A and B are shown apart, each in its own frame.
Chain A
Amino acid sequence: MSSKGTSKFKAQRFSAIVLIPLVMWFLFSLLSRVGAPYLDMKNWLAHPLNAIPMALLIIVGAFHMRIGMSEIIEDYIHSGLRPVLLLLNWVFAIGVVLVAAGSVITLAFT
């Protein structure tokens, strides 16, 4: 009973804990190279030590934000639009992972 809600709760907390260091890394590392020329930024991102945390941030972040947005949709949308929005929420999260994490991983490892 209610196992779905509990696992969602745990998944949201677990991803939150993983995101704490990743978000701090993201803020500090991007801050130190704002406005860098294209090739500098590309070379920085291509390094595995930067590409891996960036890809992790995107993947765990997308996982976390999909759950958060599904809670917002379930709280406020009570019409037939709800399943449509929940599906779009999945599409958006998967799209972000494919575009962002996909770009970073191909850049670093091909």
Chain B
Amino acid sequence: MTTDISSQNKDRSQISSSGKPPILSPHLQVWKFTVTMASSITHRACGAALYAGTAILAIWLYATANNPGLYNLISDFLGSPLGILLLAGYVWALYFHLFKGILHLVWDSGRAFEFEVAKRLSFMIFLGATLMMLVTVLVGLSIAGIL
């Protein structure tokens, strides 16, 4: 583990302007499982998933503005079981990243760092994202007339 991190630091030092290796966060393999570390990894994974989802959003906006044929094609796909699953995942990631992002802003202000508080809040973010995703998808499906 130590060799792994020190080799990362050596690598970082090559791009550091100050000559000092910048601080790296430990790789996810070295952590013991806790809800706070799970929420941290999930936050990054959701960010990456939303990154990919943005490509679909961009194509969808392009189609809405310029191309009815493409719009209908995307609408049909998003209304299919696979499309609904994809949308549900995207919505979950959006809520999770939103809630965890707000917690990060609170942490940046120096608050809510006590381990029990951090643990409880991290757990609530998983729960909150799941509940809000379910509400959103159910409301969305009923508006679309699928439910």
**Chain A: interface size category:** 35 or more
Tell whether, in the assembled complex, residue A23 and residue B98 are in contact, meaning their CB atoms are under 8 Å apart.
yes
Query: Contact between A38 and B48 (Cβ–Cβ < 8 Å)?
Result: no
| CB–CB A41/B143 < 8 A | no
A35/B143 contact (C-beta < 8 A), A2-B22, A16-B105, A27-B91 known: yes
The answer for the CA separation of A95 and B55 in the assembled complex, in Å, is 9
Instruction: Tell me whether B105 and A103 are in contact (CB under 8 A).
Output: no
Q: Which partner residue on chain B sits nearest A62 by CB separation?
A: B54
Q: A34-B140, A35-B79 are in contact. Are A104 and B61 (CB under 8 A)?
A: yes
Q: A27-B94, A69-B51 are in contact. Are A100 and B17 (CB under 8 A)?
A: no
Distance of A4 Cα from B66 Cα, bound (Å): 40
Contact call B145/A45, Cβ cutoff below 8 A: no
- Whether A41 lies near B64 (C-beta < 8 A) is yes
Q: Are A78 and B51 in contact (CB under 8 A)?
A: no
**Interchain CB contact under 8 A, B50 and A96:** no
Q: Which residue of A lies closest to B132 (CB)?
A: A27
B85 to chain A: which residues have CB within 8 Å?
A: none
- Among the interface residues A24, A31, A106, which one has the most CB atoms of the partner chain B within 10 A? A31
Contact partner, B143, options A23, A34, A99, Cβ 8 Å: A34
CB contacts (< 8 Å) of A92 on chain B: these are 51, 55
Whether A68 and B59, one on each chain, are in contact in the complex, defined by CB atoms closer than 8 angstroms, is no
A107 to B67, CA, bound (A): 12
Q: A27-B94, A45-B65 are in contact. Are A96 and B22 (CB under 8 A)?
A: no
Residues of B within 8 A of A (CB): 7-8, 11-12, 17-18, 22, 24-25, 44, 47-48, 50-51, 54-55, 57-59, 61-62, 64-66, 68, 71-72, 75, 79, 91, 94-95, 98, 101-102, 104-105, 108, 136, 139-141, 143-146
**Additional A-B contacts beyond A99-B59, A99-B62 (17; CB < 8 A):** A4-B17, A17-B105, A20-B102, A24-B98, A35-B75, A42-B64, A54-B61, A65-B47, A65-B54, A68-B44, A68-B47, A69-B48, A92-B55, A96-B54, A100-B57, A100-B58, A103-B64
